[in-house]
């Protein structure tokens, strides 16, 4: 290790720790996996698109784990596989998520509600259950859920009721798990992004009216890039945040501060 790195900076390093990152085939999850690996973690990357995961895993010397998080049986196979091939996970980042309905709340189909909650809330909960015994055995752990400011504020013109409910649900889950698992030194936090261009919203960014609306509603002057998001998760993953638990940290350029 570089001897010039001070003890304070060293607390951000994740040398040798095993991490699981869902949603790592694109967008925020892919960059989070790269950031954790750059900090020294051995990272298992999880999503459905296996070819992308293999490419990323090759780059970061990680492990590609194909999984449809809407299938509970597949979810249950993730952590045992990671533990067998990389070792006990100490870090779990639940970044996978999607929106299944753009209908107004009064018309949201039941199936969209069910799938939204299954992917955005239940899968993160079940993966948290699965890493729990490993974190207990290691004597520490950090779980970070990726939610959304949609869980905090409504967006006129962008109906997303079940998505918002699932994301705010992660904050409730976070506080509860943080309190239940604190005695094992397992920390649980959520990071709520504002707007970052990725596959989930790519089409919107092609519309100049959307970009203008975004600029006029975001207090910080520059358009966000995904690198502006990863620092908060990196901080929460390691010892630099070892006294932080149960929190929802918002990374939105000040959107919800207005
Ligand atoms: N970008 C933003 O502005 C923004 C804002 C607020 C919140 N968020 C949240 O941030 C997280 C990351 O989103 P993103 O912007 O990076 O979007 P993205 O590029 O669309 O990434 C979504 C990820 O979730 C995975 N995923 C979706 N359905 C899955 C399933 N059934 N099983 C396994 N993996 C699945 C996708 O992988 P596969 O398709 O390969 O399975 C992909 O890796 C999401 O939870 C999203 O709700 C994003």
Q: Choose one of 68, 98, 121 to mutate for the ligand 1 pocket test, by most ligand atoms within 8 angstroms of C-beta.
A: 98
Q: What is the pLDDT of residue 223?
A: 85
Tens digit of each residue's pLDDT (9 = 90 or more) over 74-90: 999 999 999 999 999 99
Listed as ranges, residues in the chain with pLDDT below 70 are 1-2
Q: Choose one of 78, 164, 200, 256 to mutate for the ligand 1 pocket test, by most ligand atoms within 8 angstroms of C-beta.
A: 200
Residues written for the chain: 258
Residue 201 Cβ contacting ligand 1 at under 6 Å: yes
Give the distance, in angstroms, between the CA of residue 256 and the centroid of all CA atoms in the same chain. 19
22 neighbors 94 (Cβ within 8 angstroms): yes
Q: What are the boundaries of each domain within the chain?
A: 11-250
Q: Which residue lies with its CA nearest to atom 1 of ligand 1?
A: 196
Q: What is the pLDDT of residue 123?
A: 99
Using alpha carbons, list the distances in angstroms from residue 46 to 38, 52, 113, 134.
Answer: 18, 10, 23, 18
Q: How many CB atoms lie within 10 A of CB 56?
A: 23
Q: What is the pLDDT of residue 60?
A: 98
Please give the number of the atom of ligand 1 that sits closest to the Cα of 52: 40
Q: How far is the CA of 234 from the centre of ligand 1 (A)?
A: 18
Q: Strand pairing partners for 250?
A: 192
Residue 11 Cβ contacting ligand 1 at under 6 Å: no
Q: How far is the CA of 243 from the centre of ligand 1 (A)?
A: 28
Q: Name which of 47, 58, 62, 48 is nearest 14 in CA terms.
A: 62
Q: How far is the CA of 45 from the centre of ligand 1 (A)?
A: 13
Q: How far is the CA of 172 from the centre of ligand 1 (A)?
A: 20
Residues known to be catalytic: 163
Q: How far is the CA of 174 from the centre of ligand 1 (A)?
A: 19
Q: Choose one of 96, 123, 149, 160 to mutate for the ligand 1 pocket test, by most ligand atoms within 8 angstroms of C-beta.
A: 96
Please give the number of the atom of ligand 1 that sits closest to the Cα of 149: 6
Q: What is the pLDDT of residue 1?
A: 62
Q: How far is the CA of 138 from the centre of ligand 1 (A)?
A: 29
The CATH H-level superfamily of 11-250 is: NAD(P)-binding Rossmann-like Domain (3.40.50.720)
The set of residues, in sequence order, having a beta carbon less than 8 Å from that of 62 and lying 6+ positions away, is 33, 37, 42, 43, 44, 45, 56
Q: What is the pLDDT of residue 3?
A: 73
Q: What is the pLDDT of residue 182?
A: 98
Q: What is the Cα–Cα distance from 221 to 165, expressed in whole angstroms?
A: 29
Q: What is the pLDDT of residue 4?
A: 74
Using alpha carbons, list the distances in angstroms from residue 252 to 5, 40, 196, 211, 224.
Answer: 30, 27, 9, 15, 8
Following DSSP, what letter does each residue of 91-129 receive, concatenated? EEEE--------S-GGG--HHHHHHHHIIIIIHHHHHHH
Q: Phi, psi (5° rounding) for residue 60?
A: -110, 10
Residue 159 Cβ contacting ligand 1 at under 6 Å: no
Q: Which residue lies with its CA nearest to atom 17 of ligand 1?
A: 200
Q: Name which of 17, 49, 20, 237 is nearest 128 in CA terms.
A: 20
- Summary mean pLDDT of the chain: 97
């Amino acid at each position: 290790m570089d001897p010039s790195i001070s003890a304070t900076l060293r607390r951000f390093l994740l040398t040798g720790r095993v991490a699981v990152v869902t949603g790592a085939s694109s967008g925020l999850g892919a960059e989070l996996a790269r950031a954790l690996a750059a900090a020294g973690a051995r990272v298992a990357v999880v999503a459905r698109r296996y070819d992308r995961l293999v490419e990323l895993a090759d780059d970061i010397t990680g492990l590609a784990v194909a999984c449809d998080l809407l299938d509970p049986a597949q979810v249950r196979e993730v952590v045992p596989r990671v533990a067998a091939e990389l070792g006990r996970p100490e870090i779990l980042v639940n970044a996978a998520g999607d929106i299944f309905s753009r209908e107004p709340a009064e018309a949201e189909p039941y199936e969209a509600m069910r799938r939204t909650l299954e992917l955005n809330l239940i899968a993160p909960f079940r993966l948290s259950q699965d890493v729990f015994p490993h974190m207990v055995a290691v004597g520490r752990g950090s779980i970070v859920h990726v939610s959304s400011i949609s869980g905090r504020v409504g967006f006129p013109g962008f109906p997303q009721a079940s998505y918002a409910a699932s994301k705010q649900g992660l904050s409730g889950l976070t506080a509860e798990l943080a309190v239940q698992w604190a005695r094992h030194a397992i920390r649980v936090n959520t990071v709520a992004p504002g707007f970052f261009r990725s596959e989930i919203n790519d089409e919107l960014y092609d519309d100049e009216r959307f970009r203008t609306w975004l600029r006029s509603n975001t207090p910080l002057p520059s358009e966000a890039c995904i690198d502006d998001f990863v620092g908060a998760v990196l901080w929460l993953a390691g010892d630099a945040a070892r006294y932080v638990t149960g929190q929802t940290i918002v990374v939105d350029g000040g959107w919800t501060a207005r």
